[in-house]
Chain A
Amino acid sequence: VTASARLAAGCTLVACVVQLAIYQYQLARAPVPADLITPAQAAFAALHVDLPATGTVGFVPTLADPNLASASFFVAQYALAPHVLALDLDDARIVIAGPTASAATDADPRLLGFTFVGERSGGIEGGSIRLYRRAVQ
């Protein structure tokens, strides 16, 4: 390796090591965020036994933040595959609401036409996951 290449490699290496060390230091000092996925996933997975073998399962996210609501849908789908979840409740005979549902969720306008069936604790933020069935007309 020529002297100029050695010099360039030395400069590159110093920059790389210093920057990696800075990033590692920042990451080590940053507080570890609470893992919301694992408990929510476990809570949703417990619903496997309550769901019918076939058919679309409706999902009503109960988190106010739209990003978190969207995240809760994907976590529920992750936990409940191969059941197919849908935010559109038109084809759903059964609906899951969570992961922060409570008795007040029953009044959610999206659940009009569905009746409360049961709930499982273990949602996040002290809430639960509630199950609804389409009311017989």
Chain B
Amino acid sequence: VTALALTLPILATTLAARRLMRPVGWVQFVECAAIGAGLGIGLSSIPFFLWRLLELPVRTYPIVDGALWGVVAVLAYDRRRPADMAARSTTRVATWALPLVVTALILFLSALVVNARLAHVPHGEWDAWAYWQVRASFLAAPEGWRNTFRPFTGSDYPLMLPAAVARVWTIAGYSAAAPAVISVLFTMSTAALLIASLWKSAPLLAATGAGLLLVPEFLYHGTGQCADVPLGFFLLTSAVVLFPGTTVRRACIAGAAIGLAAWTKNEGLVVAATVPAVLAAVMWRREAPAMARRLIAGLLMGLAPATIVLVLYHVVIDPPSDLPALVADAGPLGKLLDVSRHRTIWRFIASHTAQWGLWALFSPVWFVAAWTVAGAIRRDTSTSLSILAARTAALAILTGTYVVYVLTPHDLAWHMQTSWTRIVAQVWPVAVWTSLAWVEPIRARARPGL
């Protein structure tokens, strides 16, 4: 029943993505399905939260939910066969056979790791069951669900993940498997999206991307059942969907992904405040005014659902947050001007980023850095809007995190040790993708199919 509860919104959103993106060939269809899976889970949290906000009876929600996503699926279904879906590849087998085998090997090893990790931590990491799943259990309770907004650490966090889990529990009953399945779906959707996106350029790059994305530490966080990998998925979607070219429909999907990032974690709020503004400015500068207006309207239309629910969340619920008072008490100006504090943070970030990845000998960060440097030397402007979105998002999160570290009222070492590896996991998908997406952009346009 858990699987069924997840299947309907995923199916409906995949059909919607297929209609909007009009995939050409199987690789682009995989891209649509990956986007549909993540966005479907994310979007399914919104009507559930609104239902709770309206204090409507939770027992009737499964019927309403089924009807809602059923209608969306019917409306989104495009009877036209996607162009060239069955078209034969014109690429030589030698070009894709070996990358396909290596990608399959990486996915197989990753599946073994995921399986072993879930045996070790069936409820996820500490933060997952102590925070995210606790909130889900409040949201799923027939009465008293607003008790979750009592003053408590992180009580102002957005609700995408707990509401998505609570929705499944409301439909299918409590199961520890639900947050685990959602967590794995986000991890694997991220991988599928990255692989499919790069496969369009060159299969060898897709295999490389799979290897770099699915490093042990990413899988560690992917099975940890926290909100970091879902956030990373939304950031990647917002960039990949604009690659290699932008249409109004793709801008709409990018907007939806950015909105859901803000509905997933507070770091996503920083992304939602910066990336649409940057994208709109670039669209305005590059396109004719009429086209720019349409693209920006598409972006804003996609942003709307999550933005509306976020505004309602903060206006109606007004979740308590003790952070501003704590920061004010702890003397923010003194901290900002404290050079030794900045030095401590930079040292920590440098040393822990250089070790990130859980590799035995060295860090995969060095590989991503090398590919990024190579890309910086040979830059191609045709991919720059999507890469700009990805880099703006990553930069916004890293800058926001740095400011939080400087101002944190908590013990600085504790704060950094408990959060930095997760911050890297959030930006890891876009970092890997941008490090490789520059290599073959022209061929991507010339040969959109497999």
Contact = CB atoms under 8 A, between A and B. Distances in A.
Contacts of A6: 204
Contacts of A32: 119-120
Of B119, B211, B216, which is in contact with the most chain A CB atoms at under 10 Å from its CB?
B211
Interface of B: 102, 105-106, 109-110, 112-113, 116-117, 119-120, 122-123, 126, 129-131, 133-134, 137-138, 141, 143-145, 147-148, 150, 176, 202, 204-205, 207-208, 211-212, 214-216, 357-361, 364, 367, 370-371, 374, 439-440
Chain A interface size, under 10 / 10 to 19 / 20 to 34 / 35 or more? 35 or more
Contact of A20 (B117, B144, B215, B371): B215
A117 interface: no
Interface stretch (A69-77, A96-104, A107-115, A121-129): A69-77
B216 A20 contact: yes
Contacts of B131: 74
Given A37-B129, A82-B148, 8 more contacts: A1-B205, A1-B439, A19-B360, A20-B215, A27-B120, A81-B141, A83-B147, A84-B147
Nearest to B206: A9
Contacts of B129: 37, 74-75, 78
Nearest to A31: B120
A135 interface: no
A29 B129 CA distance: 25
A33 B117 CA distance: 11
A23 B138 contact: no
25 contacts: A1-B205, A8-B370, A8-B374, A13-B102, A13-B208, A15-B211, A16-B106, A16-B364, A17-B105, A17-B106, A17-B109, A17-B211, A22-B359, A23-B216, A24-B112, A24-B116, A28-B112, A28-B116, A71-B126, A74-B129, A75-B130, A82-B137, A82-B141, A83-B144, A83-B147
Nearest to B133: A78
